[in-house]
Amino acid sequence: MQRKIPTTFTIDLDLLERLTKVAANERLTRSFIVRVALERELQRYEASARRAKSGVRSTSPLGLKATGR
């Protein structure tokens, strides 16, 4: 079983309102939606990083510029 660590972060009010609305409509918790979204974005970013290492140019899914590290 994976260990879960509580965390806090700041988001824009409009994003929180959208998150709350989706959670209510889908009968899910906000924290579940955030965890799923974060996992998906991390997977996209990691795939992009792997492509970059293999020489394939692509834009970061997070809109970040590569720093050459």
48 Cβ partners below 8 Å, 6+ apart? Answer: 58, 59, 60, 61
Work out how many domains the chain is built from and give that number: 1
Q: Is residue 45 part of a domain?
A: yes
Q: Is residue 35 part of a domain?
A: yes
What is the reported pLDDT for 2?
Answer: 84
62 contacts 41 by C-beta, under 8 angstroms: yes
Q: Rounded to the nearest 10 degrees, how much is the dihedral formed by the CA atoms of 57, 42, 10, 5?
A: -150
At residue 69 the predicted structure's pLDDT band, cuts being 50, 70 and 90, is very low
At residue 55 the predicted structure's pLDDT band, cuts being 50, 70 and 90, is confident
Q: Is residue 42 part of a domain?
A: yes
Domain range for 37 is 31-57
66 contacts 52 by C-beta, under 8 angstroms: yes
Q: Is residue 11 part of a domain?
A: no
What is the reported pLDDT for 54?
Answer: 87
The pTM assigned to this predicted structure is 0.65
At residue 9 the predicted structure's pLDDT band, cuts being 50, 70 and 90, is confident
pLDDT over 80 (residue 67): no
